[in-house]
Amino acid sequence: MFSRDNWQEIFQTLKKNKVRTTLTVFGVFWGIFMLIIMLGSGSGLEHGVSSGMGNFATNSFFIWAQRTSIPYKGFPRGRYFNFKNDDIEALKENITEIKYIAPKIQGWSAGDGTNNTVRKDKTGSFSIKGEYPEWSKVDPMEIEGRFINPFDLKERRKVAVIGSRVKEVLFGQDEDAVGQSIRIQGIYFTVIGVFKPLNTQINFGGEKEQTIYIPLSTLQKTYNYGDVVGWFSITVKDDESAELTEEKVMKFLASRHSISPDDKEAFGHFNLAKEFKQMNGLFKGISGLIWIVGIGTLLAGVIGISNIMLVIVKERTHEIGIKRALGATPLQIMVQVITESVFLTSTSGYAGLVAGVALVEAINLALIKFQVKSEMFERPEVDFSTAVTALIILIVAGALAGIIPAKRAVSIKPVDALRVEN
């Protein structure tokens, strides 16, 4: 198998029909090349979608109150109800699966969901949201200064954390916003932080960069909401199910607010953990489909090599007969043919692998160099384990491609082989 004569024989055979050899190995080259390109594109799609979610707590769900659809305990159908501040502590005490709970409420102006904010001679229209300190753990952000803390909440401080776009509108380019005052609904607030969101695909009530966060208790007082809470953002503990916890929370709140257990319309809810799980399943499905298509394309090339090896065996029938007459065993003949098949497959496949990886890396470098940003495509790559898997597939495919021609070679009787003229 490793003798110099055998390898010289292989190279001489391939050189005799350069065009035929080139066209044959191109099928394997193209198959592995396309497999690598598709895998790189798949990873770029996954990275783009995942990075858009930033570090958002994916084991979270959100729940808000709606109109009831079933009469219950003397209350009519179509009743409006609201969550209250005391629901917050009740949930913490009774639902042990909860890791973070961030109640929220949004300030409204003229019914359009925005508020006029003023600083000196500059005015902007932004979303104003009442928050708990835990929101920064549910939706992490880059922040200059600090976020709302428990003392801000307890003392109903007039402090605000503003988005990066809010700063651009209300402050000069080089001006430090932290410590400055802005006026919201005629009330002065001190800016304690400027934030930049780490994710762009999960929004609640407006673009984050154009949002101002103030303590929930302060917003309730400013807008005369009393103890009303708009909705809850809840993150479950790492070893708990967000879907089961969501059902438990809805049953608990239904009991507290005299809602029928069968009322499916009383609560609006969105389970991010469930959506994230489905998204991961989608990407796994895409990856599986890519492998199926890529291997199918590669298989077409391998069949081509198997066919050409059959032709080569037929052309070398006389030569095989001489080897058998000189004492070569069937195993040696089979090894010779399979080695040639593996060589053709692995060299052409390796070239396709290198070309594919090089193209994926070139695309990645181009995206970085030209600062191309997309919410759907980012950082395409092919990891080392994928490359190793592809190489193993190539070697196995090469061996399989040579088995039929090898069996054909040893099935010829030496006497018959010697009779064949070159």
**Residue % of the chain over a pLDDT of 70:** 86
Neighbouring CB atoms inside 10 A of 373's CB total: 11
Dig out the tokens for 190 from the structure: 């001190």
What is the average pLDDT across 191-211?
83
Which backbone phi and psi does 86 adopt, to 5 degrees? -70, -15
For the cut 80, the answer to whether the pLDDT of residue 385 exceeds it is yes
As a whole number, the mean pLDDT across the chain is 84
**Residue % of the chain over a pLDDT of 90:** 39
Look at strands 228-229 and 181-184 and give their pairing.
unpaired
The per-residue pLDDT for 345 is 84
* 191 contacts: CB under 8 Å, gap ≥ 6: 145, 159, 160, 161, 162, 177, 178, 179, 180, 181, 182
What is the average pLDDT across 264-288?
87
The per-residue pLDDT for 173 is 77
Please say whether the beta carbons of 199 and 56 come within 8 A.
yes
Query: Which H or E element spans position 421?
Result: none
The string of pLDDT tens digits covering residues 28-41 is: 888 889 888 998 88
Q: For 254-344, where are the E strands, in sequence order?
A: 267-271
Residue with tokens 């639902």: 95
For the cut 80, the answer to whether the pLDDT of residue 205 exceeds it is no
For the cut 70, the answer to whether the pLDDT of residue 414 exceeds it is no
The per-residue pLDDT for 116 is 76
pTM: 0.72
The string of pLDDT tens digits covering residues 151-177 is: 999 999 999 999 999 999 999 778 899
Distance between CA atoms of 358 and 353, rounded to whole angstroms?
Answer: 8
The per-residue pLDDT for 372 is 77
Q: Which residue has the higher pLDDT, 391 or 260?
A: 260
Look at strands 115-119 and 83-84 and give their pairing.
unpaired
Lowest mean pLDDT among 135-139, 142-146, 308-312: 308-312
pLDDT-derived band of residue 418, with 50, 70 and 90 as boundaries?
low
Lowest mean pLDDT among 115-124, 275-284, 397-406: 397-406
| Of the candidates 142, 297, 270, the residue with the CA atom closest to the CA atom of residue 209 | 142
Please say whether the beta carbons of 337 and 313 come within 8 A.
yes
Distance between CA atoms of 109 and 326, rounded to whole angstroms?
Answer: 98
Look at strands 141-145 and 83-84 and give their pairing.
unpaired
Q: How far is CA 337 from CA 8, 60, 298, 375, in A?
A: 13, 59, 20, 50
Q: How far is CA 230 from CA 50, 101, 148, 219, 279, in A?
A: 28, 13, 18, 11, 28
The per-residue pLDDT for 13 is 64
pLDDT-derived band of residue 4, with 50, 70 and 90 as boundaries?
low
Please say whether the beta carbons of 269 and 61 come within 8 A.
yes
Lowest mean pLDDT among 65-74, 75-84, 263-272, 371-380: 371-380
For the cut 70, the answer to whether the pLDDT of residue 354 exceeds it is yes
The per-residue pLDDT for 378 is 81
The per-residue pLDDT for 65 is 95
Lowest mean pLDDT among 14-23, 77-86, 91-100, 246-255: 14-23
For the cut 80, the answer to whether the pLDDT of residue 200 exceeds it is no
Please say whether the beta carbons of 352 and 31 come within 8 A.
yes
The per-residue pLDDT for 81 is 94
Cα separation of the two ends of the chain:
25
Q: Which residues pair with 71 in a beta bridge?
A: none
Q: Which DSSP string corresponds to 220-257? A: HHHTT-TTEE-EEEEEE-TTS-HHHHHHHHHHHHHHHT
The string of pLDDT tens digits covering residues 37-59 is: 998 888 888 877 776 665 777 89
